[in-house]
A and B are shown apart, each in its own frame.
Chain A
Amino acid sequence: MTRYVMIADLRRCVGCQTCTAACKQTNATPPGVQWRKVLDIELGEYPNVERVFMPVGCQHCEDPPCMHVCPSTATGQRDDGIVTIDYDICIGCAYCAVACPYQARYKVDKPSYAYDAGPTQTESKRFDEARLGVAQKCTFCSDRVDSGKAKGLVPGIDPEATPACVNSCIADALHFGNLEDMDSNVSQLLTENTYFQMHVELGTKPGFYYLWDKEHL
């Protein structure tokens, strides 16, 4: 059995947005669309203030509200837990976007480019008409996972089979792997450290774990 999950170690994260940039480039997302981003959180009142950096994005929930509400079945879930969007079916109603408690979904109706002058060569090369007017979000780089696995590589271990954000993370804060494999990198991290999941009370069973050591409830 396979259940891919991601881990963000908040003790490590410095909020540099390298993952944000790597994701944007790998997935050719238009300006303003950030499947992966890092929150810069300030807690408390002067002088007792904390600043925490928290990577967010699609949590690839085991029980994804976005999928349940989707009227077209465009949002689906793979056996390995990755929540998917079929751009060819999606009607762009954005119901999934309001159903997602993680603000992970975007909808872009018109082509938009970095500069007003029009698309750069890269943007032209990577433009995908299918993404217009439909929901989009983090895919856990399922294309990388799949092509990597096809080559016999291990997602989360071999970069070619691992999401771009994880590969890019300079603080080694992001990890990806199979939760069902008790010996996997992610299983080890979750066994050895304290962690939380976001909005568990909403029953989403997110596939995203935050290693952390302080209570902020």
Chain B
Amino acid sequence: MSLRVKYQTILSQLAPAGAVGASLALGAAAPAVASEPPTGDQPSAVDKEKVSERLAAVRDAVTALDQTRTDAAKAEGRLAWGNWGWGGGGGWGWPNWNNWHNWRNWGNWFRNW
């Protein structure tokens, strides 16, 4: 199975939960046990394939999934992404402008007002 297909399989199952649900699922998928101290011997993706290839495969999978969902949404006459995107506002066009570390993404922050 190619990396893209593998990630597409994972993401297609995460997507229905939306960004919050998917984040909870990923957060809960930790190998560590709460009562044990952190060890630093976590399974690392770095050990298997090159990180750049993994990251590219994830983006390919998101793109493919996006297309699938867009097609399905068009067929059903609804918006594609709903609450899935991490874009904080519904889109993926996230400008990386919260990367000063004394700062946070005020754009997302203000949605809470």
Q: Do A and B bind each other?
A: no
Residues of A within 8 A of B (CB): none
Residues of B within 8 A of A (CB): none
